[in-house]
Amino acid sequence: MIDTIVIPLLKILIVLFAGVLPAVTYMVLLERKVIAWAQSRLGPMRVGPYGILQPVADAIKLMLKEDITPVRADKWVFTAAPIISMVPALIVYAVIPFGPVVNLFGRQVSLYITDINVGLLYIVSVASVGVYGIILAGYASNSKFPLLASLRASAQLISYEVAVTLTLVSVILMSGSLSMVSIVRAQESQGLWYMFVQPLAFGIFVIGSLAETNRAPFDMPEAEQELTGGFHTEYSGMRFALFFLAEYANMIVVSSVATTLFLGGWLRPFPNVAFLNFLGFIEPDPAELRGVPPHGVVKADEVTPAPVPELEVVLPA
């Protein structure tokens, strides 16, 4: 009961409400501060000391703001589009490892929600669903500018997704696994990050990730001089906020995937070099170092295969 329901639910709540959502809101504040610094301005300064409570004020404003639906819009699809964009950006975190198995209060707890043997395939598949939210948002708005922007955005996302997916093949070949935890362990056993042996793949992944998250210089789908506000022109209130939450959550997703695949996950640089031990912050569980699986996990070589029944072939006389 505790290992199968309570602990996974606590992990989900911690990742979403203590990690992702606060990080997304304060990434908006950080970006506004950096842009203000580049333009010799102060940025948000009125809410809280130095404006640090501005994300809280923005969230309250968006929740209380009137949510307008255009008269000729497809109301059901118009409402479902931001949800389709937001949900895949959150459920991807189920397979991203934040650390090894550690001992907490006498119980072995893994610092990831789950580890499946096709974790990388799961991330690629689920992240691809978010494109449909953008297409449906432009289609359901019943306006030419959001429709053109959604087509431009979907074409950009799909085209760069091919390049990003192909770069993942190099990581799969080096680690021999699609499990995110196994990829980190492979970098630990080989003694170096994959960024050092696959620099070209890492560079292509970073460029493709910028394009997939519509960040500069790939922010063409939101070109104000051509397409007004982009695919979310007709959106307001909380539905407008969901698109921005999905965009910034995807930024954290691609950063987490890049860290896991190319930068060793929770490992320090060159994990097998002894004089760099002072860089390690997370100590793995001793049982894990001895090869003992965490509680409830059975190794593949420990599973006894079921006997195969012998078939008797009777030939006709």
Q: What is the pLDDT along the chain (317 residues), one digit of tens a residue?
A: 777 788 889 999 999 888 888 898 899 899 899 999 999 998 889 888 888 999 999 989 988 888 888 888 888 999 999 999 999 999 999 999 998 888 887 788 888 998 999 999 999 999 888 888 888 988 898 888 888 888 888 888 888 888 888 899 999 999 999 999 999 999 988 888 899 999 999 999 999 988 888 787 777 766 666 666 778 888 888 888 898 888 889 999 999 999 999 998 888 877 777 777 777 655 544 444 444 444 444 444 444 555 555 555 555 65
Given 64, 79, 109, the domain boundary residue is: 64
Looking at the structure, tell me whether residues 88 and 233 fall in a common domain: yes
Residue 306 domain flag: no
60 and 87 together in one domain: no
Is 21 within the bounds of a domain? yes
Which residues constitute the domain of residue 152? 70-292
Q: DSSP string spanning the chain? A: -IIIIIHHHHHHHHHIIIIIHHHHHHHHHHHHHHHHHHTT---S-SSSGGGTTHHHHHHHHHHHS-----TTS-HHHHHHHHHHHHHHHHHGGGG---S-EEEETTEEEESSS---TTHHHHHHHHHHHHHHHHHHHHHHTT-HHHHHHHHHHHHHHHHHHHHHHHHHHHHHHHH--S-HHHHHHHHHHHTS-HHHH-HHHHHHHHHHHHHHTT-TTS-GGG-HHHHTTGGGTT--HHHHHHHHHHHHHHHHHHHHHHHHHHS-TTPPSSTT-GGGGGG---PPPHHHHTTPPPTT---GGGSPPPPPPPPPP----
Do 147 and 284 belong to one domain? Answer: yes
Task: For residue 314, tell me if it sits in a domain.
Answer: no
Domain match, 257 and 174 both: yes
- Position 257 scores a pLDDT of 93
Residue 305 lies inside a defined structural domain of this protein? no
Boundary (domain end) residue, out of 64, 93, 118: 64
What pLDDT, on the 0 to 100 scale, is given for residue 184? 92
Output the pLDDT for position 280. Answer: 67
Total structural domains within the chain: 2
Same domain, 112 and 15: no
Q: The pTM is what?
A: 0.81
Q: Is residue 153 part of a domain?
A: yes
